[in-house]
Structures are given as C-alpha cells and as structure tokens.
C-alpha cells in the first residue's frame, strides 16, 4: 500500500515503523507533523491509502483525518488519554502497560481501536527514553503492523472505545511542578522515579550550586557513604556524572542542561561535570568505579567473565561517545585483551550500542572543530583496536539502536549480534559528514562496494532484519530487551566451546594480514580523516549548522540538510525518546 507517515520528529519509533513497513513491501513517504499545509501537500502528492502517525505532538487537521483513515500510535492502553502517558506510567511505578493504535478523530485519544499490544515495564528501573526505544517500540511495532494488516484486509471493523467499556482515564501534561524533587523529604526510590520519568526529555528542573538546571538520568548508589552530607549535596563524581545525596542514600545524575534564559538560545545536555564547570567545588572527590565486580554503584563500563568468554558492557547516555568515553572504553578494551579468553563480547546490555561522536560535548567546546577532531581520532583508535585484535573472536552485541560510527564500531568485530527490534543507520550524510571509523574498509568488506555506496547515499534507517540481509548483522537475537544480555551471554559461552574456534581465530589473523598487505588500515584512516578535517574546520561546512540545530532541537536553515539527524548528541540518525508530548 501507499502509506504516509506523519511524525513530529523522525525519532527512533518513526524510523523503526518506516523500516519495518518498507520491509513488508509498502511504499512509504514521510512528512513532519505540526505543519498542516505541508501535511496537506504530502497527502495531495503521495495520495496515500493509509496515514500512520507513530509520534505526534499536535493533532492532525480535520480535513485530513475526515477524508483519510489516519492511525495514531498512543503509548497507553485503551481508555488512557493525554500527552504524557508514559511519564505517568513510570512515575506511578506501573508494572504493565500497553500501546494502542487509534483512528484519529475530533477527540484526542478517543478514536476507534485498531490494535492494542500489552507489555511489561522493566523491573530494573529503566528510564523513560530507554523504555520508549525498547518495550514501547516492540509493542508499537507489533500494533502498527497488525493494524495495517487489518486495514489492508478490508474486513476488519475497529472497535469504538465506548462500546468496549474501557475506563477513560485522562492524564494531564506532566508539568515540572509534579516532577520537582524534595531532596529533604523524598526517599531514594521516589527521586529515581522522578528522574527516570523525565530522563531524556524534559528533565527535572532543579536548583544546584546557584543555578537552575534540568537533571537528566538517574542511577542508584548503594555503597558510597554520604554521612554528614545534606540531601541534594554533590558528594562525588564519576565518568562525568555527579552523585547527589538523598535523605536515605544517593543517586548518580549523568547529564545536566541549563535552564534557558528569557530570549536566550536553546540549551542542551552535556555530562554533568562539564556542565557545572568551575561551579563544582574542588573538594568533591572523583571516585572511579572498578571495572570488574559488583561494587553496588553505577558505572557506564563493566567487564565480567564466564569461563573462556569475556564481556565488556558499556552504556553511554543517548549512545553518544565523547573523546573521554572513547578513551576510557579503549582502556577497558585493552584490559579485556589481557584476560585469558577466546571470545570477547563488546556491547550494550540493552538500549543504544553507539551513535558515534558526541555532538553535545563538541557544540559546548571552546573550539568545536578541535573537539570534533579529537573525538573522531579517539573513536578511530577504538575501532582500530578492535580491527587489529587477532588472538580471539570479538562479538559486537547490539542490544539497541546504532548509527554512524557506532555501526562501524560494530562492523569492526568478527560477528555482529543484534536484537531484532534494533534500528541501524549506517551513514553520516544527514550530519553533513563524510565519516571515518574505517567505514571505507569495514562496510564494503561486509556488504560489498555497491551496497555500501547505496547505504551512504540513501541515508535511510534499516531494520535489524534488513541489516542482516545486507550482510551487516550475522545473528538476529529474538529476545525481549530485558533478556538480551542473558541470551547473548549464553550464545557467547556456546561459541567459546566451538571445536573449530582456534581455526577461526587463525583464519581471521591471516585475513587481516592479507588485507593489511593489500592496503594498510592507516591509508583508509588517513583518507577518511582528510575529508573529515575539511568538514570540521571549514567555516561554511554544513556540519556546523546541522550540529548546532540538532543539539538545540531547532529547525535547520540554509544548509540543504534533509530529514532529522540523530539522538542525544551522537553523530548518527538513530534518534530517541518520546518527550512529554504525544509519542
């Protein structure tokens, strides 16, 4: 069918719906919601048989929904109404939830039901954006495909909510007054729920060290002693995050965003320590987490072993990897190579694998060109270390989405294992970049030169299934988000027991030597970085305007840029969270 996707942003769910409906053979076009005239023109041009809205912040105009069947994805069960459904679910500690596909009509969220798919909210306290990209995305994908199939059949009658006797629950916009943390009174669990219900957008507004900030993300600290610290006081830092005391414990907050001043430019998230800068008292200690062992606190990089298999798990906010992230992960990777293992898994337990360089840190730097250069070189160092690993098999485990340099990091491994619900964006063009991370070697090696060129030119999201068919993924993992790490661990331990493993390791070492003799990795890196250097330091390169517009969530003007760019600071186009408006 001809299907028009309408979305307020080409975010992770919109990308997944786009990719998976394309896989099914539908002809899709996409238009940004909120611009009614653009929507009307897209309807006239595309002449859709069906309109699907995976994520909207504004209502569709009546002259569109009254003439065309328009299916709207609502991240709540039938009867749930309002723009902050998922925020309320996480804040209330709900254990079960649902995604419903409704037919648009005059009343918000009150249309007939075409499909609804329930899901369990994770018990490990994942944040809203993580849940949105994973559990919600899985349920929404299933619900949209079911609704589209029902519409195509021509014999399905959607169920009016009133006839189904669904209890109507109106949940208003989740305002900052409801999110406010009372540090003196709120226990740690309450603080974490408030932080997690707003982790990516909009954040929790708070006062800290004489300024107002939006707090983004929250993780418990179980061992660090906070005796004598006032609730809300910063007691430690780790990996760019700050640890704040609560009345009965402490929480880690990875990112901060300054409150926008009246008439001032839009602000954006950066690592908390960077955001605070000179405001952070020198007396606050930095307490790095041990790489191994369960130390009871948050860490963004962990290493563990099961027999002959090593696991290097990492998770960075929004999948964005700054210069510091890359260097710390490289140090951890080198440590993992000293261990007596035959298989090494490098990956994310759930949610993002990587989206490449950290655009937020770059935008905030005194010299964005210089920071871009440092960041891409640190990323290249990491990817090259994986490519040159010759004494064991390396598996890239993608528990969630990946884009740009993050995809190339995965392709540097010997095998790529990917959760079926993940979306890959193996391109850089939407950020005005040529790309590095040895993509000119790794991508054609996997997909062939013709497919590699097409993927870079088209700059479209790929489902995990499509990525596997193109040769970018070796094994699809049919696991729920919460089960991915355990299933990957089981598979990796099984791989380490394979009788032909030693032969495979010897074969990869020989292949790397042949490739190096034909064209050294240094030549690929040098040619890529020569192009990137011009884009980083050229005053009129579109990268600068695209980067600034992206991190500030502003429209792009005068750059020739196309569809939306990425998520939470990464250079790729694997975008992210629902925000507080209608996802």
pLDDT at 165 over 90: no
pLDDT at 508 over 90: yes
Give me the pLDDT at residue 374, please.
Answer: 98
Residues 471 and 435: their CA atoms lie apart, in Å, by: 20
Residues 107 and 231: their CA atoms lie apart, in Å, by: 44
Residues 18 and 73: their CA atoms lie apart, in Å, by: 13
Band (164; pLDDT cuts 50, 70, 90) = low
Residue 530 CB partners (closer than 8 Å, separation 6+): none
pLDDT at 559 over 60: no
Residues 294 and 272: their CA atoms lie apart, in Å, by: 24
Residues 17 and 14: their CA atoms lie apart, in Å, by: 5
Residues 270 and 254: their CA atoms lie apart, in Å, by: 8
Report yes or no: 553 and 266 within 8 Å, Cβ to Cβ: yes
Q: Edge-to-edge strand order for the sheet containing 301-306?
A: 301-306, 309-314, 343-347, 393-398, 415-419, 475-477
pLDDT digits 0-9 by tens, 307-358: 999 999 999 999 999 999 999 999 999 999 999 999 999 999 999 999 999 9
Residues 361 and 366: their CA atoms lie apart, in Å, by: 10
pTM tops 0.85: yes
pLDDT above 70 covers a percentage of the chain that reads 95
Residues 24 and 286: their CA atoms lie apart, in Å, by: 51
Residues 385 and 379: their CA atoms lie apart, in Å, by: 10
Residue 520 CB partners (closer than 8 Å, separation 6+): none
């Amino acid at each position: 069918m001809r299907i028009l996707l309408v979305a307020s942003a080409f975010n992770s769910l919109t990308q997944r719906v786009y990719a998976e409906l394309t896989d099914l053979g539908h002809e899709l076009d996409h238009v940004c919601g909120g611009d009614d005239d653009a929507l009307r023109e897209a309807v006239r041009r595309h002449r859709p048989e069906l309109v699907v809205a995976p994520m909207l912040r504004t209502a569709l105009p009546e002259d569109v929904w009254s003439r065309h069947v328009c299916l709207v994805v609502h991240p709540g069960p039938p009867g749930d109404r309002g723009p902050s459904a998922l925020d309320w679910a996480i804040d209330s500690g709900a254990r079960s939830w649902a995604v419903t596909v409704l037919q648009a009509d005059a009343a918000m969220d009150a249309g007939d039901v075409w499909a609804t798919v329930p899901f369990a909210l994770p018990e490990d306290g994942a944040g809203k954006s993580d849940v949105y990209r994973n559990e919600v995305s899985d349920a929404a994908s299933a619900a949209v495909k079911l609704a589209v199939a029902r519409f195509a059949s021509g014999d399905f009658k959607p169920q009016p909510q009133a006839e189904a006797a669904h209890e109507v629950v109106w949940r208003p916009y989740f305002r900052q007054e409801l999110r406010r943390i009372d540090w003196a009174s709120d226990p740690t669990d309450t603080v974490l729920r408030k932080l997690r219900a707003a982790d990516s957008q909009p954040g929790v507004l708070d006062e800290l060290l004489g300024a107002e900030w939006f707090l983004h993300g929250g993780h418990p600290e179980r061992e660090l002693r906070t005796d004598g610290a006032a609730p809300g006081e910063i007691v430690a830092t780790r990996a760019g995050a700050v640890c704040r005391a609560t009345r009965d414990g402490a929480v880690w907050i990875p990112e901060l965003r300054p409150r926008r001043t009246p008439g001032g430019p839009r602000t954006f998230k950066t690592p908390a320590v960077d955001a605070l800068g000179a405001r952070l008292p020198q007396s606050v200690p930095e307490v790095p987490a041990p790489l191994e062992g369960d130390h009871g606190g948050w860490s963004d990089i962990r290493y563990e072993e099961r027999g002959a298999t090593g696991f290097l798990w990492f998770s960075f906010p929004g999948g964005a990897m700054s210069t510091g992230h890359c260097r710390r992960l490289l140090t951890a990777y080198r440590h993992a190579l000293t261990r007596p293992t035959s298989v090494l898994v490098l990956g994310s337990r759930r949610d993002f694998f990587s989206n490449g360089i950290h655009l937020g840190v770059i935008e905030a730097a005194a010299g964005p060109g210089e920071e871009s250069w440092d960041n891409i070189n640190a990323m290249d160092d990491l990817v090259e270390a994986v490519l040159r690993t010759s004494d064991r098999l390396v598996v890239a485990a993608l528990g969630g989405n990946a884009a740009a340099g993050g995809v190339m990091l995965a392709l540097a491994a010997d095998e790529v294992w990917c959760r079926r619900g993940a979306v890959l964006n193996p391109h850089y063009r939407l950020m005005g970049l040529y790309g590095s991370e040895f993509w000119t070697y790794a991508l054609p090696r996997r997909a062939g030169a013709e497919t590699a060129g097409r993927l870079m030119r088209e700059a479209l999201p790929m489902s995990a299934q499509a990525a596997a068919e193109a040769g970018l993924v070796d094994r699809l993992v049919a696991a729920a988000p919460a089960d991915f790490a355990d299933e990957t661990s089981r598979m990796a331990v099984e791989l380490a027991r394979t009788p032909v493993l030693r032969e495979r390791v010897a074969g990869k070492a020989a292949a790397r030597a042949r490739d190096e003799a034909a064209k050294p990795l240094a030549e690929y890196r040098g040619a890529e970085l020569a192009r990137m250097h011009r884009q980083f330091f050229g005053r009129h390169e579109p990268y600068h305007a695209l980067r600034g517009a992206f991190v500030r969530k502003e429209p792009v003007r005068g750059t020739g840029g196309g569809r939306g760019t990425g998520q939470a600071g990464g250079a790729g186009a694997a975008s992210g969270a629902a925000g507080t408006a209608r996802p």
